[in-house]
Amino acid sequence: MLSYAHGACDEALLGETIGENLERTIARVPDAEALVCRHQDIRCTYSEFGERVDRLASGMLEAGLGKGDRVAVWGPNVAEWTLTQYATARLGVILVNINPAYRLSELQYALGQSGCRWIFSVQELKGADFRAMVQEASSELPGLERAVFFGTPEWEELADTVPSPDVLRRLAVELDFDEEINIQYTSGTTGFPKGATLTHHNILNNGYFTGELLGYSERDRVCVPVPLYHCFGMVLGNLACTSRGACIVYPAETFDPEATLEACAQEKCTSVYGVPTMFIAELDHERFAEFDLSSLRTGIMAGSPCPIEVMKRVSSEMGVREMSIAFGMTETSPVSTFVRRDDTLDNRCGTVGQAMPHAEIKVIDPSNGRIQPRGEPGEFCARGYLVMRGYWNDRERTDEAIDSGRWMHTGDLAAMDENGYVRVVGRIKDMVIRGGENIYPREIEEFMYSHPSVADVQVIGVPDERYGEELMAWIIPRPGTSVSEEAMREFCRNRIAHYKIPRYMKFVDSFPMTVTGKVQKFKMRETAIEELGLGEVVAVATA
């Protein structure tokens, strides 16, 4: 039996745009609560949410934005982010998600590569001056025409435009669900991020069927502490809710374990999301026992390998008996396999589930492309509605990722059992997953090379109990120079995202090499595990 499976499903795919789908939900459950943003004290029903979306969309339209334009959004989990998401979708404007951890060089690249006309942004976050960075980036980007900052009179004027429902309906007829609507940047192996380009059809259906598998309806309230700039928040959070009439609950701007627990208790949430580190922080919080979590029944753990013991604690201590694991990547909208909420604890703790509805999956021998027998590890591939259109303006890297049969080659090593359950066993690509963030060492290496005292550098991932993996840099200093760990950290600080700054640094004279001169990163990792005393972390079982 070969490692191929198809998520056969009686329910048809949605053949509509995000805007059309939202209108249907509003018509069905106008008085159901749609959005609760606790830290902003914002609550609105679906009817009210739809009116706010239409006001903002009308403001954008009057200001000259239209179908196919690119507009960036840069900020944490705030109501304005979500209104921007749905308003751009109403107009066919392509939303470009910018990671709030990005700094100037990364911001400039994403805005320039995607050709953004506008950017919506918070003014500051955690001491970082977003306004100043946007202004500096604008000086180098003549195509960036306008920056609108949340909470300013300029934002209020746009967001409070008298809606033009007839005009918006006429525009909606001109939109097609196969058109691009979202660009999300993933770190690039060549040092430059890639813009995964997603359509209405991609992300709406992925959110819709996620909601189906979790049993969502207007009676559900979903706590979303994961960031909106990721597919996890934007698709599995927002779109899974709005396509099913459930309520979106944001506990805080950025993840805070106490705020998440408080939101679940006070809002009577039925579902909660997170990467493993978030659940660990909640379970270990000093006030954990004070919160009534009895309303929780389901949720999603995803973003990095999920320790089996954490899944068991979420079930036994938080009472989430139907916690699921989702597995995929931004390029697959994002979920390609899913552990069903009524599955056995063994399958929910030990695998990443079976194929999503309407998705095809297979495991191949990476050396020849042939499908592996069941149980044999190989590269995990996915095909179907969920595969992205491609990388924005990057045909070469699109063709490297998606083959002629439209299979997305993920670079993940996996094995499929006789019942179609998938277990991830490693990665082909040289990628590190730190707390749900995909990090490509090459990008960091190229940045660190620019330090005048660095002759060579190699970045690897090493196991970490909290984040799954942490970064370690092996650095060869230039002859006649000296460089300290603190000096390297200072060099990185505020120039690259904080999560890309290696936690560990080792200064060496050479790297372990093959006879042909190829760096042996696996040997570096083995040495690091031994020297850093991480052997016990390696032994932690994950799905």
How far is residue 357's CA from residue 535's CA, in Å, rounded to a whole number? 39
Give every CB contact of residue 404 below 8 A, 6+ residues apart in sequence: none
Instruction: Write the DSSP string, 75-143.
Output: -SS-HHHHHHHHHHHHHTPEEEEE-TT--HHHHHHHHHHHT-SEEEE-SEETTEEHHHHHHHHHTT-TT
The per-residue pLDDT for range 458-517, each reduced to its tens digit, is 899 999 988 989 999 999 998 898 899 999 999 999 899 999 999 999 999 988 976 546
The answer to whether residue 95 is domain-embedded is yes
How far is residue 458's CA from residue 25's CA, in Å, rounded to a whole number? 50
Pairing outcome for strands 247-250 and 33-37: parallel
Give every CB contact of residue 157 below 8 A, 6+ residues apart in sequence: 59
How far is residue 273's CA from residue 231's CA, in Å, rounded to a whole number? 12
**455, amino acid identity:** A
pLDDT score of 537? 80
DSSP type of residue 216 = -
Residue 439 pLDDT level (bands cut at 50, 70, 90): confident
**133, amino acid identity:** M
The answer to whether residue 115 is domain-embedded is yes
pLDDT score of 303? 78
Q: For residue 67, what is the domain's CATH number?
A: 3.40.50.980
Q: Which of 10-19, 174-183, 335-344, 379-388 has the lowest mean pLDDT?
A: 335-344
Cα–Cα nearest to 82, from 108, 45, 52:
52
Mean pLDDT score, 24-33: 98
Which residues make beta-bridge pairs with 97?
A: 73, 184
The answer to whether residue 11 is domain-embedded is no
pLDDT score of 356? 98
End residue of a domain, out of 176, 193, 215: 176
Query: Structure pTM?
Result: 0.85
The answer to whether residue 382 is domain-embedded is no
Are the C-beta atoms of 281 and 251 separated by less than 8 Å?
no
Residue 433 pLDDT level (bands cut at 50, 70, 90): confident
The per-residue pLDDT for range 208-245, each reduced to its tens digit, is 999 999 999 999 999 999 999 999 999 999 999 999 99
Q: Structure tokens of 279? A: 């659940």
pLDDT score of 25? 98
Give every CB contact of residue 217 below 8 A, 6+ residues apart in sequence: 244, 245, 246
Handedness of CA 202, 327, 304, 222 (dihedral sign): positive
Cα–Cα nearest to 432, from 474, 468, 391, 386:
468
The answer to whether residue 241 is domain-embedded is no
The answer to whether residue 138 is domain-embedded is yes
Q: For residue 507, what is the domain's CATH number?
A: 3.30.300.30
- Written in H, E and C, the secondary structure of 28-47 is HCCCCEEEEEHHHCEEEEHH
End residue of a domain, out of 122, 154, 176: 176
In angstroms and rounded to an integer, the radius of gyration of the C-alpha atoms of the chain is 23
pLDDT score of 519? 78
Burial 342-362 (b: 16+ CB within 10 A, else e): ebeeebbbbbbbbbbbbbbbb
The answer to whether residue 513 is domain-embedded is yes
Q: Is 540's pLDDT higher than 70? A: no
End residue of a domain, out of 111, 146, 176: 176
Q: Which domain holds residue 95?
A: 48-176
Mean pLDDT score, 378-385: 96
Number of domains in the chain: 2
Q: Is 190's pLDDT higher than 60? A: no
Largest Cα–Cα separation, the chain: 72
Q: How many CB atoms lie within 10 A of CB 475?
A: 22
Instruction: Write the DSSP string, 131-170.
Output: HHHHHHHHTT-TT--EEEETTSHHHHHHHTPPP-HHHHHH
What is the average pLDDT score of the chain? 93
The answer to whether residue 205 is domain-embedded is no
